């Protein structure tokens, strides 16, 4: 599933190209997870004024309203001036005078939703429960520490939930917990101040590095230019069960938490 780094990499790959473009047509394919929420003709003639990200949503701002785009489990976006004919897994084309933005999604868990404003009920429903942005100035250590102290959840599952901080997906949660020396099963409220600070710093550094490396491509992720990510090649623990820890040589272990794979080093990461 594309996580925050992959979505941010996607945003950066076509934000400049589409900003200022005029929408000429909207082509709808098979139904996605949620309906568009407006007549497609409402979008025609509008100018794109910017492209933002909130959590794993891309927000395409227009002169009137915005589109919220989500890549779901297997979706990807392409932006090109010479887009080929749509295939069976291409479900949304936004045709502009600068190129076509296409959502490709074999499993159709992705979404393109129109909202009149970011304060409208549909946007509030999708974005209202999201936690702090880890790569922004709002990701404050005291707020993060206070949120951990209130939770009895295992730390990895709390990070994945996205209510305290967004974007720490499965790969990145394993990596940040390794760097901060915290066992993934540790109850969040039991983590001391020193390790909370290390965890806060690790979240920032791991996600920033993932963005720099183009995200992670485990199956078929690529950005809007078709480029794959490479962060998975630099992982310390993720996907390395049975292999020696880079720090101590102990075999990396694999457990299941909430039906997700968790990788950790028993020696380097303490409860």
CA distance 90 to 88: 6
Listed in sequence order, the residues at least 6 apart from 82 whose beta carbon sits closer than 8 Å to its beta carbon are: none
Which residue among 11, 53, 56, 195 is the active-site one?
56
Give the three-class secondary structure for 23: strand
Is 70 one of the annotated binding-site residues? no
Which residue among 2, 5, 134, 154 is the active-site one?
2
CA distance 216 to 168: 13
Cα 131 to chain center, whole Å? 13
CA distance 206 to 179: 9
Measured CA to CA in angstroms, residue 155 lies from 32, 188, 236, 262 at distances of: 33, 5, 18, 12
CA distance 78 to 101: 6
Query: Degrees (nearest 5) of the Cα angle 77, 79, 10?
Result: 45
Which residue among 54, 204, 260, 266 is the active-site one?
260
Which residue among 3, 6, 8, 175 is the active-site one?
3
Is 78 one of the annotated binding-site residues? no
Helix axes 193-212, 141-149, angle to 10 degrees: 120
Establish whether 2 is a catalytic residue: yes
Listed in sequence order, the residues at least 6 apart from 190 whose beta carbon sits closer than 8 Å to its beta carbon are: none
Six-digit token string for 35:
């309906």
Establish whether 56 is a catalytic residue: yes
- Show which residues are catalytic: 2-3, 56, 260
Please give the annotated binding residues for DNA, written as ranges: 89, 107
Please give the annotated binding residues, written as ranges: 89, 107
């Amino acid at each position: 599933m594309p996580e925050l780094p992959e979505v941010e990499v996607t945003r950066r790959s076509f934000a400049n190209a589409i900003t200022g473009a005029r929408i000429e047509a909207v082509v709808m394919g098979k139904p996605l997870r949620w309906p568009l929420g407006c007549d497609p003709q409402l979008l025609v003639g509008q100018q794109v004024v910017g492209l933002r990200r909130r959590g794993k949503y891309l927000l395409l701002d227009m002169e009137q309203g915005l589109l919220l785009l989500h890549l779901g489990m297997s979706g990807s976006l392409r932006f090109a001036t010479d887009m080929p004919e749509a295939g069976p897994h291409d479900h949304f084309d936004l045709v502009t005078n600068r190129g076509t933005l296409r959502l490709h999604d074999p499993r159709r868990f992705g979404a393109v939703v129109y909202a009149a404003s970011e304060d409208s009920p549909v946007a509030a429903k999708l974005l209202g429960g999201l936690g702090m942005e880890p790569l922004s100035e709002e990701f404050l250590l005291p707020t993060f520490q206070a949120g951990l102290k209130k939770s009895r959840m295992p730390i990895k599952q709390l990070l994945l939930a996205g209510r305290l901080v967004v974007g720490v997906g499965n790969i990145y949660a394993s990596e940040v917990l390794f760097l901060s020396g915290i066992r993934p099963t540790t109850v969040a409220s039991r983590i001391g101040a020193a390790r909370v600070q290390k965890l806060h710093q690790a979240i920032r550094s791991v996600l920033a590095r993932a963005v720099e490396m183009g995200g992670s491509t485990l199956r078929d992720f690529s950005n809007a230019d078709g480029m794959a990510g490479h962060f998975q090649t630099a992982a310390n623990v993720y996907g390395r069960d049975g292999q020696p820890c880079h720090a101590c040589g102990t075999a990396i272990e694999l457990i299941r938490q909430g039906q997700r794979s968790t990788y950790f080093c028993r020696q380097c990461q303490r409860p």
